[in-house]
Structures are given as structure tokens and as C-alpha cells.
Amino acid sequence: MTKCCWLVKESGAKMDLNSKKSGFRFSNPELVHLEYETNQSFCEESEIQLRINLSTDVKPYEGKSKAEVILTITLGGKTEKDPFYLEASEQATFDWSGSQFSDEALESLLSKNAPSLLLSYLRPIVASSTNWSRYGSYNIPFIDFTKAVKESD
């Protein structure tokens, strides 16, 4: 295996990217669920107020420095007040180097950083899926997972 060292010029100084690698890594995220349905009963004269719900499921691997994280987003609903219903789930396996992180740091990485990263993979899927509807593309807004996790505690 060849070790690659990228040198990036930053403000006149060289930066070794290998020394900046995180001990917290993830596998290639994959879309594990996608459901989209246009609501034929939606009253088009109504103002569209799309509900957005996010849920995160963290499944640690017993005895390993590894966990599966699944982020699920639900947009709209199946009532006449909703133009469509969309549900999508993105999953990735996260791993870390042994005792490099405290339990508190791992909790934060898995409950905030991991879902934030997975949301960046769901954004284009949601935008593309809704783009072909009569309501146009829906772009997921920025979500502060730090604040969202504090509110759910």
C-alpha cells in the first residue's frame, strides 16, 4: 500500500494533510430507504408549509470501536395539508481509534457530527426527488444538530 502525502500551500506555509487526519472515520454512506408520494388531495390554493422531521438511530457494535448511524428525514405528510410525502434514510458505519476519544466526545460525534455529515448526502437526493414534482425542488435548510440534540435532552 502506497502512502500518499498531499502538500497544500496555505498562507505561504506547507500543510501535511496526513497529520490532519481524524481518528473518527466513516464508510461510504448509502441510501437505504426512499419513499416519495404526491398528495392528490392537496388543496393547491393553500400556502405550502412543509413539515420536516429528522431522526437518528445509532447502533454501536458490541465490543468494537464502531457504530452504524442511520439518519432519516421525513418531509410533509399524507394529509390534505401536505403537497407530498417524502421519507429517506442514509446509513454509514463510523469507526474510531480505540481509546482516542472519551465517552462524551464519542456521544457528541455520533449524535451531532455523524447526522450532520449524513444530511449532506441526503440533500441532493431530496432536491432531485422533489424537483420532478409540480411543486419544484425542495432544498433542506441548514440544521444545527448541536442545538437539536440539546432540545431533545
34 domain-assigned: yes
Q: What is the pLDDT of residue 50?
A: 87
Cβ-proximal residues to 23 (8 Å cutoff; 6+ apart), any chain: 96, 97, 100, 101
Find the domain containing 96 and state its range.
27-152
CATH number where 86 lies: 3.10.420.10
> pLDDT 10s digit of each residue in the chain, 153 long?
444 444 444 555 565 656 567 788 999 999 999 999 998 888 777 677 889 999 999 999 988 889 999 999 999 998 888 899 999 999 999 998 867 788 898 999 999 999 999 999 999 999 999 998 888 899 999 898 887 655 555
Tally of domains within the chain: 1
101 domain-assigned: yes
Closest CA to 60 of 111, 22, 99, 122: 111
Question: In the structure grid, which three cell numbers stand for residue 134, read together?
Answer: 409540480
What is the CB neighbour count within 10 angstroms for residue 29?
19
17 domain-assigned: no
Per-residue buried b or exposed e for 67-99, using 16+ beta carbons within 10 Å of the residue's own CB: bbbbbbbbbbbeeebbbbbbebbbbbbbebeee
Q: What is the pLDDT of residue 46?
A: 67
Q: What is the pLDDT of residue 5?
A: 45
Per-residue buried b or exposed e for 107-123, using 16+ beta carbons within 10 Å of the residue's own CB: ebbbbbbbbbbbbebbb
22 domain-assigned: no
